[in-house]
Amino acid sequence: MATTSANPVLIRSDKLILGGGAALCVLAGVARYGGWSSVLAFIVSAAAVCVLASLVGRSVEQLGDRFGPGATGVLQSALGNLPELFICIFSLKAGLVDVVRAALVGSILANLLLVLGLAFLVGGLRHGTQQLGSERARTIVTLMVLSVTAMAVPSIAHEVHSPAGAHETAFSVIVSIVLLVLFGLSLPFSLRRDETSTDVVSTEAPRWPVWLAIAMLTVAGLLAAFVSDWFVHALEPAMRTLSISNAFAGLVIVAIAGNAIENVVGVQLAARGQSEYAFSLILNSPIQIALVLAPVLVLASQIFGLASLTLVFGPMLVVALVLSVLLTAVIATDGESTWLEGATLIALYAVIATSFWWG
Amino acid sequence: MATTSANPVLIRSDKLILGGGAALCVLAGVARYGGWSSVLAFIVSAAAVCVLASLVGRSVEQLGDRFGPGATGVLQSALGNLPELFICIFSLKAGLVDVVRAALVGSILANLLLVLGLAFLVGGLRHGTQQLGSERARTIVTLMVLSVTAMAVPSIAHEVHSPAGAHETAFSVIVSIVLLVLFGLSLPFSLRRDETSTDVVSTEAPRWPVWLAIAMLTVAGLLAAFVSDWFVHALEPAMRTLSISNAFAGLVIVAIAGNAIENVVGVQLAARGQSEYAFSLILNSPIQIALVLAPVLVLASQIFGLASLTLVFGPMLVVALVLSVLLTAVIATDGESTWLEGATLIALYAVIATSFWWG
Amino acid sequence: MATTSANPVLIRSDKLILGGGAALCVLAGVARYGGWSSVLAFIVSAAAVCVLASLVGRSVEQLGDRFGPGATGVLQSALGNLPELFICIFSLKAGLVDVVRAALVGSILANLLLVLGLAFLVGGLRHGTQQLGSERARTIVTLMVLSVTAMAVPSIAHEVHSPAGAHETAFSVIVSIVLLVLFGLSLPFSLRRDETSTDVVSTEAPRWPVWLAIAMLTVAGLLAAFVSDWFVHALEPAMRTLSISNAFAGLVIVAIAGNAIENVVGVQLAARGQSEYAFSLILNSPIQIALVLAPVLVLASQIFGLASLTLVFGPMLVVALVLSVLLTAVIATDGESTWLEGATLIALYAVIATSFWWG
């Protein structure tokens, strides 16, 4: 009974998302070709990207429901970062290598500091001290720490003027392949993970017919490709108008827009008191970026002759990355979270983001 | 009965402190204006600062007892670092920016490595393996790690030649304000902390009348201001006579003198087997330095036109700081302490302090 | 009954080791003076070093059995790294300082990343998630983190251009003495450790007569000295022939050859499901290197006028070292290990080793 009464609300929310998404995509197209001011075009296309990201995520979830929880895991891993991937590829095509570098690191920082901080803050204020200590959560922390560190090694080699620094591209390609192999190895673990996690979610989600899910995924994916292009097109002039540096734009704006949906879901879960699940979800995103998004972009940039992207990030990006990863590990082994820890994480994010304000 | 019989002893100890403090202050004044050798003047005024610090702490505790444990927390946070604050302000007035920088970092290092090491060593030798694992202790560790890291971000930005490094003062002021906001947010947590901790202490402390506590606080505070001035005045010539570099003087001598009382109390608590309470007390000091003392000094140095202090510490100071913080977090999540861990911490402090010996 | 039937097998394995060792030593000698190709001479002498290392370890174990578990600990600490010590001393005599530096750091990295990773992988695949959480294991982690960090301080001081960097030799000698004092202090703890650990091992080992153990130790030790000399003699031409850089040779090849036996034993223990014991054994090796091998080599190089070895390692070596140590601490406080964590550790080792490929 409870589930039946919940259905109409959710269907209405689906309709709202669909309608809003269609409207935003049209607006973004008009903004792109209608000579709107770049700042307005940027805002509209950013919003459209967020809604499309949400639609892709929703369709994947529905499809996965049909083929079992294992398939959801694989699909989510493969398609969850689709909009981010499009944005980064179009940015590379536009030569905005700095933006992509900053966005990759920024996504990880935003997840580990800002989103985790918000989740701790909201969860802590509503439900008091929260537990994070399950075995699964700790394995995710370990994987996150190790994979992000592996991704950071080429930057470190470059920064300390190691001889490997002179072979930046070759070294980055090798590391990318190692990371993708690790991703392949981690799939069985991810599949097993989603078995438990979908239990929590699926109860409240009404089922779409398979054709609808596939159609929605195709349409949302295609639209995401177009809108990402418009988003990137508006990005640079908008940042120039607002006098925002490329580094800050990538680190903060692109990073937050590209992960908007995952971020909102993570905080919502924490608000509902599901701190363990929120924690896993939020930490899973950096793993995806280090093991899939970054290596795929590096390989794609070399194979398709885009602006050459290596895994050599700027020194401040790398230090911020390594520190955040280690701090998250410390906080996670603590086994609990309070709202004050959340506030401190947000403050640390603010401080680091500020350091990129001056371009 | 037990408390009545304890009273005279404690009153006698109070009298001893008062008498000794008065004598030392007079001596320090004579040394300052009587043309004593700078080394002697330095030693006498350092001793006087320690006793006055102890008196300020004692008066705050007594006052807090009247207004409830919450007030004690606020008062301790506000006034506990008073003598250190005076020393740093007079040092800034005297242009000894290097000393202040080294002293801020040195206080944190001394707490995390030397004092914690001594507490582990003494506690471990007397009582075997000790437990540290309470929820409260772990929250303090997390707060300490995050706040000290936030304080270190401007130094890191400067060290890696990030563009923010060129806006040293503006960035330091922003970070200082963020740290002070965090301090405000942490007050409720601190208040709650002292509720439990004063239970342990207050039972053995006899009560002073309110007027006595306020008078004592005022007198000790005023005297601390004068004696700190004399201490700083003797510092530089004394260090020159002893061929000790400014960095070493700040990092080791000023840092240990300024925190002498807290340090002794922490080790005493560990010797008595109260390892949990000792651990919290020792780790609380770096939080105070990062969230109050450092930002207040930065803002004061800008507002009152003293020698400009920013949060950009030297590279060796920053690396030592970040490493010590991460190591303490690792040791704390271990959940236990042994005398051998204590000895290793002390050895690490010795190694780091030695690295500052060559100015 | 079970032990009696096990005896002949083990005696046969002893005979095999003895016969193989003798043959390899003869071959290595022929290779050295018979004008063999340097690559072949290198491979034969590397194999001979491994077998001799195993014989030294075996004799020490047998001897220790006679004098009680305490003596085993002291003997193992003193003699366990004998072949590595010989290799490093002959390398210093040959002026191969870079190789020795890389080999010291490489041994620690190989233990913390490669061997630990293999142990997690093998143990995890055979026995599922494994526990590491005993008090003893956590104390070993803490000691390892602190001693390796202390060993890294001179490098850090040098890297950040601290004034102490200009006093490289003096500072390294002081740190070496501090490390050796720590080693002395840690002996009681090590003795107590072996009490428990020998329980596990001794049951399957048949007893040698005391004279045999002493004779074997003497012969194996002497031979190790000769073969190490031949190994070092062949090392540089072989690396030149194979176009392998000195840094890579030290970090990977010498490091793995010098620790081959400990490494195999650690992984075997994990395969048998004794994850706790494997973990302690593997982490003990970095402690030995930081507290004994490195300081002894530094002091020996100064006293006996070999090529001057200080504790200043290259920047990439130091960053890799500090990161690996912190990561191991994070993984250990996790309290469990899975095969995927093992695979990730191995991947991280591969990435770091690759960064040294370009000399």
Residue C319 touches partner A, C-beta closer than 8 Å: yes
Q: Which residues in chain A are closer than 8 Å to B322, comparing Cβ atoms? A: 323
What average pLDDT does the segment C123-150 reach? 83
pLDDT digits (tens, 9 = 90+) for A290-300: 999 999 999 99
The dihedral built from the CA positions of residue B129, B135, B140 and B143, taken in this order, carries a sign that is positive
Cβ pair C135:B327 closer than 8 A: no
For chain C, percent of residues with pLDDT exceeding 70: 86
Cβ pair C171:B355 closer than 8 A: yes
Cα–Cα distance measured from residue C101 to residue C253, given in angstroms and rounded to the nearest whole number? 13
Rounded to a whole number of angstroms, the distance from the CA of A333 to the nearest CA of chain C is 7
Out of C330, C352, C355, the one facing A145 most closely (by C-beta) is C330
pLDDT in the model for residue C65: 64
Q: Which residues in chain B are closer than 8 Å to A352, comparing Cβ atoms? A: 153
Cβ pair A164:C356 closer than 8 A: yes
Quickly state the pLDDT bin for A202 (edges 50, 70, 90): very low
Contacts of C54 (CB under 8 A, 6+ apart): C17, C21, C260, C261
pLDDT in the model for residue A71: 62
For chain C, percent of residues with pLDDT exceeding 90: 22
- CB contacts under 8 A, A 128-147 vs B, are 129
CB pairs under 8 A between A and B: 100
Residue C308 touches partner A, C-beta closer than 8 Å: no
pLDDT in the model for residue A155: 92
Contacts of A335 (CB under 8 A, 6+ apart): A131, A132, A133, B138
Quickly state the pLDDT bin for A181 (edges 50, 70, 90): very high
Q: Which residues in chain A are closer than 8 Å to C330, comparing Cβ atoms? A: 141-142, 145, 326, 329-330, 333
Per-residue pLDDT of chain B (359 residues; tens, 9 = 90+): 344 444 444 567 777 888 888 888 888 888 888 888 888 888 898 888 888 888 887 777 777 666 665 666 666 666 767 778 888 998 998 888 988 999 999 999 998 999 999 999 999 888 888 777 667 777 888 888 989 999 999 999 998 888 888 888 999 999 999 999 998 888 877 666 544 444 444 444 567 777 888 888 888 888 888 888 888 888 888 888 988 888 888 888 888 877 777 777 788 888 888 887 788 878 888 888 999 999 999 999 999 888 889 999 989 999 999 999 988 888 877 777 888 889 999 999 999 999 988 86
State the Cα angle at B332 between B326 and B336, rounded to 5°: 145
pLDDT digits (tens, 9 = 90+) for C232-290: 888 888 888 988 888 888 888 888 877 777 777 788 888 888 877 788 878 888 888 99
Cβ pair B343:C147 closer than 8 A: no
Chain A interface, best mutation among C161, C340, C349, C356, by max A CB count within 10 A: C340
Contacts of B349 (CB under 8 A, 6+ apart): B109, B110, B113, B114, B117
pLDDT digits (tens, 9 = 90+) for C209-237: 778 888 888 888 888 888 888 888 888 88
Contacts of C147 (CB under 8 A, 6+ apart): B344, C179, C182, C286, C287, C290, C291
pLDDT in the model for residue B198: 42
- Written as one string, the DSSP assignment of A60-102 is HHHHHHHH-HHHHHHHHHHHTTHHHHHHHHHHHHTT-HHHHHH
| Residue B81 tokens, joined | 């670092």
Residue B17 touches partner C, C-beta closer than 8 Å: no
pLDDT digits (tens, 9 = 90+) for A135-179: 777 788 888 898 999 999 999 999 888 888 788 899 999 999 999
How high does pLDDT run on average in chain A? 82
Which one-letter DSSP state was computed for residue A242?
Answer: T
Quickly state the pLDDT bin for C133 (edges 50, 70, 90): low
- Written as one string, the DSSP assignment of C163-212 is GGGGGHHHHHHHHHHHHHHHHHHHHHHHHHHHHHHHHHHHTTPPPPPHHH
Cα–Cα distance measured from residue C245 to residue C316, given in angstroms and rounded to the nearest whole number? 15
Residue B145 · residue B325 · CB < 8 Å: yes
pLDDT digits (tens, 9 = 90+) for A326-353: 888 888 777 778 888 899 999 999 999 9
Cβ pair B245:C333 closer than 8 A: no
Residue A214 touches partner C, C-beta closer than 8 Å: no
Q: Closest-CA residue in chain B for A245?
A: B163
Rounded to a whole number of angstroms, the distance from the CA of A309 to the nearest CA of chain B is 20
Question: CA distances (Å), B217 to each of B54, B224, C86, C158, in order?
Answer: 11, 10, 65, 46
Rounded to a whole number of angstroms, the distance from the CA of B160 to the nearest CA of chain A is 6
Neighbours of A69 (CB within 10 A): 18
Q: Which residues in chain C are closer than 8 Å to B341, comparing Cβ atoms? A: 139, 142-143, 146
pLDDT in the model for residue A4: 42
pLDDT in the model for residue B109: 92
Cα–Cα distance measured from residue B3 to residue B306, given in angstroms and rounded to the nearest whole number? 49
pLDDT in the model for residue C2: 40
* Among the listed residues B332, B347, B313, B269, the one whose alpha carbon sits nearest the alpha carbon of residue B137: B332
Residue B357 · residue C157 · CB < 8 Å: no
Cβ pair A146:C358 closer than 8 A: no
pLDDT in the model for residue B171: 93
pLDDT in the model for residue B2: 41
pLDDT in the model for residue C68: 62
Neighbours of B34 (CB within 10 A): 9
Residue A178 touches partner C, C-beta closer than 8 Å: yes
A326: left (phi over 0), alpha (psi -120 to 50) or beta: alpha
Residue A264 touches partner C, C-beta closer than 8 Å: no
Residue B149 touches partner C, C-beta closer than 8 Å: no
Half-sphere exposure of A277 (CA within 13 A, CB side): 18
| Residue C88 tokens, joined | 């490093």
Q: Report whether pLDDT(A249) > 70.
A: yes
pLDDT in the model for residue A343: 92
Q: Which residues in chain A are closer than 8 Å to B161, comparing Cβ atoms? A: 315
Residue B350 touches partner C, C-beta closer than 8 Å: yes
Out of A135, A142, A178, the one facing C351 most closely (by C-beta) is A178
* Among the listed residues C293, C298, C323, C324, the one whose alpha carbon sits nearest the alpha carbon of residue C310: C298
Cα–Cα distance measured from residue C355 to residue C357, given in angstroms and rounded to the nearest whole number? 6
Q: Report whether pLDDT(A198) > 80.
A: no
Residue C321 · residue A130 · CB < 8 Å: no
Backbone angles phi, psi at A337, to 5 degrees: -135, 145
CA max distance for chain C:
66
Out of B327, B356, B357, the one facing C145 most closely (by C-beta) is B327
How high does pLDDT run on average in chain C? 82
Quickly state the pLDDT bin for A2 (edges 50, 70, 90): very low
Q: What is the pTM of this model?
A: 0.85
Q: Is B237 exposed, middle or buried (0-12, 13-18, 19+ CB in 10 A)?
A: middle
What average pLDDT does the segment C59-83 reach? 68
Which one-letter DSSP state was computed for residue A306?
Answer: -
Buried b (16+ CB within 10 A) or exposed e, B46-79: bbbbbbbbbbbbbbbbbbbbeeebbbbbbbbbeb
* Among the listed residues B279, B20, B345, the one whose alpha carbon sits nearest the alpha carbon of residue B130: B279
Residue A125 · residue A337 · CB < 8 Å: no
Q: Closest-CA residue in chain A for C245?
A: A163
Rounded to a whole number of angstroms, the distance from the CA of A175 to the nearest CA of chain B is 24
C112's enclosing H/E stretch is: none
Q: Is the ipTM of this complex over 0.85?
A: no
Quickly state the pLDDT bin for A131 (edges 50, 70, 90): confident
Which one-letter DSSP state was computed for residue A114?
Answer: I
What average pLDDT does the segment A316-323 reach? 91
Neighbours of C161 (CB within 10 A): 12
Out of B146, B153, B174, the one facing A344 most closely (by C-beta) is B146
* Among the listed residues B320, C341, C330, C340, the one whose alpha carbon sits nearest the alpha carbon of residue A325: C330
Q: Which residues in chain B are closer than 8 Å to A158, comparing Cβ atoms? A: none
What average pLDDT does the segment A251-256 reach? 85
Question: CA distances (Å), C341 to each of A167, C269, C346, in order?
Answer: 28, 18, 9
pLDDT digits (tens, 9 = 90+) for C290-345: 999 999 999 999 998 888 899 999 899 999 999 999 888 888 777 778 888 899 99
